[in-house]
Structure 1
């Protein structure tokens, strides 16, 4: 024990007091405790008022006064020192009275020794230290909790205001930027595309008997038509056109895109790992726009894996749950009889084994014109258009990536239709991914 203990001994028998003080001088406590003796309760209260004590040792019987009554008076004065009672008899009733009154310990005078006294004092000081630490920690925790609640309320209010303003600004800037591009560039793209289409159609008429060539021409014309659809979607990007929503199977649209790109992926050495849940509900979506999103994400994965790799495509049902103040998505096991309902979403994941995305680029991915590709290979519009399409479906598009370990693009669409239903049964998610 580093500091010198101050002990108050309250004992009305002079012989017992002398004996107990003599025993305490033999204690193996360094530095040696300083002992104050009070012959009665009044003297004890005077001493406690005058100075701090680490331990109080009270005789259980103090003439006309009871040691328990003295303990109550001591506590009323604000003294929190541990109290050890001394008793002339070691019966159980006395022990129970002592401990119920709030004493730390009680000792029988006839059994006193330096060892028993040392053990009792050490036990009392240990309990007091633990109690002080607990009270200090609880007080600090209470203060911190109140401060944190106040700060959290202010921060949440500020963040809500900032987020609303930021979302409005970002969305406005995106639409304005893409609108300017659409007005100035899309018609320039359509002109040469129409010329190409005309030459292809002329070639088809000239070489009607060439079956292999006709197959290639059909493939080219399909791609031309797809480009026209994409351009038309780009032109509509900044306008509030109504989507053509149909009830359908999202897996079917994914499979059609994967079939279309299968040859290119095989040629690049890309292995396709496709895990599409057969238990998904049908939902309302725009098939053309959704295929545009899927194709863009597949092509991004292909560009990220120029030397081969694995593209994993997964569909499943997830449910939004709150844990510790955080909202997370957890899988819904439809095979075990679970049913999609409120806060359920259809999740689509495109995971590649490419180089991943650098941390500083994550938040910029969905901004118009941002691209990590060479200028001649990309306009930086693909992901911003994907984001807009998913947002118009009241869904969410986000990316998870650790540089050097690939990237995963995650789409979450509101599950507002159960299989066979034709009307929405639960509301969709209203917020999109932050960019």
Structure 2
């Protein structure tokens, strides 16, 4: 059978009409001369309500549109011509009804009939709701983007293939500063790490891999940024869709300042514990050492009152003077201890000749001072700046110890050699004596507060403790070498504070 019977054609037309009427889309069929072959009610009413144009079978689409809207007529003609050329097209149209905008998505496509003629099928559907959702999504994305870019943390997202999905401005900026790389979406985040850092790549690969397996992570990294080592707290959160991990969100927070503050607080707490402990010991020992000479004076005064022999008075007064001197020395050490603890560093240019002479002069009335010969060797290669009062405190205590613990054997040649070498960076100061020396078991204890090797030890037990504290304030170091019966050597190194940036130097006096 080469031709359909008339009844068959009628059946097919009825089926076609039923199909297009029940279709979700609005459907229009026109021939190559733009005459309407068929349309469903959806297309009829939307066209009528939108443009006031009533389309009927057999009527010309363009002729119906021309009187109402010449511009729209031209656009539709161009679209139909493109479709007739064999190129399907899709367009979006906007129209207004009762002050509200509606959106069409319209498809134009041509099909050839058996007789060689062409039919243009036009399918349209209302996408107003979809457009509203799209606008909402775009607005939400813009709001989210704004929020992300105002967050100080670095944030980035990767997919299951380690490809960079998105990131905020902070991550872009910090990554460029750290690695000199501009981030590009769609690029493997691992490939953006330096090739000369394989360990870093492997570390991050393991972190990403763990997160993509559904395990949140928390890590800490130290990364150089602008020539400064910054510490980061890094957290990874899996992105889960329909029960499957499809990516990873990573947050990196700079905790450098927080860590520094915590370290400072920890250091201050440790210092406070140390100070409290030392204060307890200080109060206990100081009260005992202050009371002892006072009780001695009190006892000697009582002896003077009771002893009828006035010739003994001079001996009692000499003993009283010795106790008073001991008390004065102890009080002086307490003052030095307090001054070193609370006074700020006050740098000035140091004349080591003047400093040494002042120290020796202040101790010349000390018992046995005249028996210790001083040997001086001072070389200053550049102007040296430090805290004069603390250096004097250090010199006084070490020189006093050299006198106090000199070799008292008859005919002994007691000496103290002072070597000073200063340059633009440091001063190296060495005190070497040939006194009684220190036993090996006590060498590492001599800088402790109130340490005395035995009950016969002279002094307050604060001298070398003060020396070490003053040197630490000057950010210097002290080392001791000693051999019992042969002598002791103290080696001190203190920095030239003129070499430190932004140092405030006290005026010359």
The TM-score with structure 2 as length reference comes to: 0.35
Q: Rg bigger for which structure?
A: 2
Select the structure with the greater relative contact order (CA < 8 A; seq sep ≥ 6).
1
Higher percent of residues as strand: 2
TM-score by length of 1: 0.40
